């Protein structure tokens, strides 16, 4: 079995909320491979949980970052430059829409709710990539990944404006891959199947989706956080050096089915 060695590499992971977070599973994989990490927390409410998890990884930075605040984003990269001097990896696992926008009809989406969902879930990758670029160039290149979902290309009941945000995110991935490619910076997405995370539980009918996947997916089961994290490890490592601008599906094959 080939073991990926990320010793001497540095990564920034956004989106850890608790032990079930996809971002936390990715952080564990990267740390086990030898990378030193910085984890962010959104606010003081989430800080204790993220701090507890960060304490389980060696020499991990813990930084505040509300991705809707450019000042906080700039402060994160200033601290990474001071502590790491470079950056090799960035994981964007951040998404949010006001609860009311996920409960009613999509046609009733408010202007403010639409703006919030797109800003946090999609636009935020742009200032993060902007902050990461010079630090990755200093490292000779780097890799960014963002978490997306099948609702970016198909209608999913109750996913509503989050599907719009994921569609925007996937376009941003492709455009950034084009622009950052000359700097040897790769940008890819992972489209994961349903997982029992804090964010997923905010989607109406989520339990029904969990039951549907094993019935229709070719592998006849749901996926695990570890499977997503292993794909992230591959996309962040040199094993995927020729891959950029792609969305890799980790959904037990569900997306290939016509019915």
Q: Helix 125-138 to helix 161-180 angle, to the nearest 10 degrees?
A: 30
Strand order through the sheet with 36-41:
61-64, 36-41, 10-14, 89-92, 142-148, 185-192, 247-250
Q: Which of 10, 41, 89, 159 is catalytic?
A: 159
DSSP string over 179-198: HHGGGTEEEEEEEE-----T
**Is residue 12 classed as helix, strand or coil in its secondary structure?**
strand
Beta strands in 167-236 (DSSP E): 185-192
Backbone angles phi, psi at 185, to 5 degrees: -110, 120
Tokens of 42: 């959104």
How far is it, in rounded angstroms, from Cα 259 to Cα 257? 6
Q: What is the largest distance, in Å, between two alpha-carbon atoms of the chain? A: 52
Catalytic residue check, 10: no
- Strand 89-92, strand 61-64: pairing: unpaired
Closest CA to 173 of 155, 187, 194, 156: 187
178 belongs to the catalytic site: no
> CA 148, CA 190: separation in Å to the nearest integer?
6
Given 41, 123, 149, 213, which residue is catalytic? Answer: 149
CA 65 to chain centre: 14
Residues 129 and 65: their CA atoms lie apart, in Å, by: 14
**What is the set of active-site residues?**
149, 159
């Amino acid at each position: 079995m080939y073991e990926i060695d990320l010793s001497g590499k540095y990564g920034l992971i956004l989106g850890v909320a608790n032990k079930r977070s996809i971002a936390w599973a990715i952080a564990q994989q990267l740390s086990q491979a030898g990378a030193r990490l910085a984890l962010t927390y959104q606010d003081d409410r989430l800080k204790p949980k993220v701090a507890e998890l960060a304490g389980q990884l060696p020499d991990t930075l813990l930084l505040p970052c509300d991705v809707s605040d450019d000042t906080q984003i700039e402060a994160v990269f200033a601290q990474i430059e001071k502590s790491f001097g470079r950056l090799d990896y960035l994981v964007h696992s951040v998404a949010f829409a006001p609860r009311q926008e996920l409960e009613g009809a999509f046609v009733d989406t408010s202007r403010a709710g639409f703006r919030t969902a797109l800003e946090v879930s999609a636009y935020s990758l742009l200032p993060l990539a902007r902050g990461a670029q010079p630090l990755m160039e200093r490292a000779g290149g780097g890799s960014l990944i963002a978490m997306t979902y099948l609702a970016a290309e198909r209608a999913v009941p109750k996913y509503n404006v989050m599907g719009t945000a994921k569609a925007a995110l996937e376009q941003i991935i492709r455009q950034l891959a084009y622009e950052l490619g000359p700097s040897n910076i790769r940008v890819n997405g992972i489209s994961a199947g349903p997982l029992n995370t804090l964010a997923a539980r905010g989607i109406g009918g989520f339990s029904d989706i969990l039951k549907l996947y094993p019935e229709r997916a070719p592998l006849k089961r749901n996926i695990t956080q570890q499977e997503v994290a292993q794909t992230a490890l591959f996309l962040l490592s040199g094993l995927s050096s020729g891959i950029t601008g792609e969305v890799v599906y980790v959904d037990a094959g569900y997306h290939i089915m016509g019915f």
